[in-house]
Structure 1
Amino acid sequence: MSAPPEPLLEHAVRYVKERHWEVLPGTWLEFTGGVPRCSCGANDCDAPGAHPARSDWTPLATGSTSTVRRLWTAEPRAAILLPAGRTFDILEVPETAGCLALARMERMGTTLGPVSGTPTGRMMFFVLAGGAAKTPALLRQLGWSPASMDLAARGEGAYVAAPPTRIGPRGSAQWVREPTTVNRWLPDAEELMPILAYACAQDRRERG
């Protein structure tokens, strides 16, 4: 018999204690007649149960375990959101391109940080803070047009839903490469960009 899943509270506390990441409680899913809906109430919500509850959310992120316990005790269903631009930035690519890039990086022995995936088919590569701002120039140096690449860089003012936050009806965010003591030190965006850009271009060609 499998153990019951850990409460989101315990995951949020670990992100703060073990990774020194700030966390933010977000919206959550409510079920009406078995149909999941975002607690924000919007019928057209594009990230049901996985976005900030307020537009002015940036000052509300916390790195205090006592505050985390208080917030998630008040609403245990709240999404765990990780603000980018503080201790990390995010390079987001399609899942197929991410898997191709990840396999190549592992063969080459590339230093990697945590990597997460979403049920909507996206992969998030964690890199050093500041990487998002450098991404357009890095892509141009490699001969790619930033506007033509399905590669999004998330930095200051952005966030990512942390596993095991549920995102809409399809499922939860999951770790592809979990945060560990081994990958505590994050790579710079320019270390991953050549492989990620190439994988995105390959994925685009295959899709036609």
Structure 2
Amino acid sequence: MERKGRFSQWLRRPRSGAGGDTGTGAGAADAREDLLMAAAAAGFPLAPAAHPSGYGCSCDRIGCPTPARHPVSFAWQTQATTDPEKVARWLRSDPEANFITATGMAHDVLDVPVAAGRQALERLGEAGVEVGPVATTSADHQERMLFFTATRGTPEDEDEWWPCELDCHPETMDEHPGLRWHCRGSYVLLPPARLSGDGRVAWLLGPERPLPDPLSLLESLTDACARLADEGHEHESHAWPIGR
């Protein structure tokens, strides 16, 4: 209840944009800040990320391979916070910044091709299974769906989890299924975020929803990914890298 209440408080915060406009200018900036603050209030640890700049990335890396899709700092895991004052300072410092949320701290993310995600949502709805926050991301003609879940944390038996380094490097994508489990040591871009071209990361179901156990969604998501593979869909290999 406290998690949902803090989220609602941020959404009710007065905006400075005239008439509450959320399309452009100050209204859009205020609406974006409200969503980021609401995510922090919901317990999602945030850290600043790069954003589109011209045809490339705001970072200083020449030919950045993941423009606008990586944290600003290599220390993003220790930077990640739910402190609204820190998030506000980052926004004032760079109003265009995207934000990542570090996984394996307060939540995990099950990351699937969007077609598989839609199939899984339909199946889960028919079965009466509650899903938590869900985001969609589109970049470079590739679409993914991100299912936010409770984290498995640090189980007593370390064999129960695997670090995301094992399945999130682009060069190993062909060796792994369409579903990727972002847990300890990984991150995803947090809505709302802008990517190169017309790319966006947006909420389909907001972060005020309770986080489900990942195992309650896993079978439906893996089955949907397997069906897509059997139907001959091209494997979408876009991954969120763990570093720059």
TM-score, normalization by structure 1: 0.82
Within the candidate set 29, 34, 51, 1:28 is matched to 51
Task: Give the CA deviation at 1:189.
Answer: 1.5
- Partner residue of 1:45? 64
Q: How many equivalent residue pairs?
A: 190
Task: Give the CA deviation at 1:198.
Answer: 0.7
- Percent identity, aligned pairs only, is 28
Letter in 1 for 2:48: P
Within the candidate set 159, 162, 168, 2:190 is matched to 162
- Partner residue of 2:110? 91
- Say which SS state the counterpart of residue 118 (structure 1) adopts: strand
Within the candidate set 39, 62, 74, 2:81 is matched to 62
Task: Give the CA deviation at 1:23.
Answer: 0.8
CA distance in 1, matches of 2:49, 2:218: 30
Task: Give the CA deviation at 1:86.
Answer: 1.0
**Are the counterparts in 1 of residues 71 and 99 from structure 2 also a CA contact under 8 Å?**
no
Task: Give the CA deviation at 1:149.
Answer: 2.0
Structure 1, unaligned stretches of length 5 or more?
Answer: 137-146
**For 1:77-109, what per-residue CA distance to the aligned partner results, in whole angstroms no more than 9, with x for missing partners?**
111111101111011111111111111111111
- With over 3 angstroms needed to count, the CA separation of the structure-2 counterparts of 1:122 and 1:134, relative to structure 1, is farther
Letter in 1 for 2:45: E
CA distance in 1, matches of 2:176, 2:99: 31
CA distance in 2, matches of 1:109, 1:13: 30
- 1:189 and 2:244 matched: no
Structure 2, unaligned stretches of length 5 or more?
Answer: 1-18, 163-174, 234-244
Task: Give the CA deviation at 1:128.
Answer: 1.1
- Say which SS state the counterpart of residue 198 (structure 1) adopts: helix
- Partner residue of 1:202? 227
- Say which SS state the counterpart of residue 81 (structure 2) adopts: coil
Letter in 2 for 1:197: T
CA distance in 1, matches of 2:153, 2:204: 20
CA distance in 1, matches of 2:62, 2:136: 24
- With over 3 angstroms needed to count, the CA separation of the structure-2 counterparts of 1:131 and 1:150, relative to structure 1, is farther
RMSD value over aligned CA atoms? 2.3
Letter in 2 for 1:23: L
- Residue range with higher mean Cα deviation, 58-67 or 170-179: 170-179
Task: Give the CA deviation at 1:13.
Answer: 1.4
CA distance in 2, matches of 1:72, 1:190: 35
- With over 3 angstroms needed to count, the CA separation of the structure-2 counterparts of 1:135 and 1:117, relative to structure 1, is farther
Task: Give the CA deviation at 1:6.
Answer: 3.5
CA distance in 2, matches of 1:177, 1:69: 24
- Say which SS state the counterpart of residue 194 (structure 1) adopts: helix
